[in-house]
Amino acid sequence: MEYTGYEHIVFERKENGVLFVILNRPNELNTINEHLHEELSRVFLDISRDTNTKTVVLTGEGKVFSAGGDIKWMNSLKDSSYKIIKEGIDIIRRLIEVPQPVIARINGHATGLGATIALYCDMIIASDRAKIADPHVLVGLAAGDGGAGIWPMVLGPARAKQYLLTGDPIKAEDALKLGLINEVVPFEELDSRVNYWAERLSNGPQLAIQLTKRSINRHLRKVVDEIVEPSMLYEALTFYSEELKEGVSSFLEKRSPDYNKFNIE
């Protein structure tokens, strides 16, 4: 299968049916703009039809995995909210439904939607340089792109609220202790460790592996249906808020946001 029609995702075929899927906006820290968001909404559907791929490795080009949503793009979210919601649901749903196991290679920071995508992967191997965070609230957005589903499922409600209500980052070593990821390795050993797991999964019994993934991910499908879809609607409501305008403006102006001047009525 040839992967055409992708501008911000690069594909590299390795031996034994391993496919690297690389977010490719390194000069923008692999932030997700309108075009990459649309590409992510269909890439896992394309992979599901790829009979030559046994294992997928998802990563980012350059120094980071993904710094999340492109802050400049956020200024125009309200103008295409239905499209964004539909694509957002498709990203998560198709990621958990793609039959092949997906390994997240977290080479650097994974934040916002970048963190969400990584955490819904089947295995998560991180560099010791990485941090994971969901800072939606820091720019005035509800954490609705899938983070409100996966963080409480893994950490429990209290711990998830600690990180989702503050946007505080977690070092890779601490994420490992919390059970948020599978392994942390020195940056220099990241490739060899990811390749080890990719080869091991590709050499295993494919039908058994895929059906086991499908069974386990039935839990995640319930999360998508019951939590992710409505949480994305909540996030869409914040597209229209004064808090988002303040959050985006303060980021672009490199100042601290002032949310105290707004009241919820």
pLDDT at 79: 63
| Domains: count for the chain | 1
Residue 265: is its pLDDT beyond 80?
Answer: no
pLDDT at 47: 98
CATH code for position 97: 3.90.226.10
Residue 115 lies in a domain: yes
pLDDT at 113: 95
* Residue 81 one-letter amino acid: S
Express as a percent the part of the chain with pLDDT over 70. 97
Q: 170-171 and 131-133: which strand pairing?
A: antiparallel
Residue 157 lies in a domain: yes
* Cα separations in angstroms, 176 against 157, 185, 201: 18, 11, 21
* Cα separations in angstroms, 4 against 43, 54, 56: 10, 20, 17
Query: Across all residues in the chain, what is the average pLDDT?
Result: 93
Residue 2 lies in a domain: no
User: Encoding tokens for residue 23?
Assistant: 């977010």
pLDDT at 119: 97
User: Encoding tokens for residue 221?
Assistant: 């499908």
Question: Can you tell me the distance from the alpha carbon of 17 to that of 54, in angstroms, rounded to the nearest whole number?
Answer: 5
Residue 77: is its pLDDT beyond 70?
Answer: no
Q: How confident is the model at residue 80 (pLDDT cuts 50, 70, 90)?
A: low
Q: How confident is the model at residue 96 (pLDDT cuts 50, 70, 90)?
A: very high
**39-61 residue pLDDT tens:** 999 999 999 999 999 999 999 99
Residue 211's domain comprises: 9-187+206-252
Residue 36 lies in a domain: yes
Residue with tokens 């998802």: 58
Residue 125: is its pLDDT beyond 90?
Answer: yes
Residue 263: is its pLDDT beyond 90?
Answer: no
DSSP tag of 66 = B
**202-221 residue pLDDT tens:** 999 999 999 999 999 999 99
Residue 153 lies in a domain: yes
pLDDT at 75: 67
pLDDT at 78: 62
**128-150 residue pLDDT tens:** 999 999 999 998 999 888 899 99
Range scoring the smallest mean pLDDT among 83-87, 91-95, 152-156: 83-87
Q: Which of 127, 146, 128, 123 is nearest to 136 (CA)?
A: 146
Residue 74: is its pLDDT beyond 90?
Answer: no
Residue 201 lies in a domain: no
Q: How large is the average pLDDT for residues 90-110?
A: 97
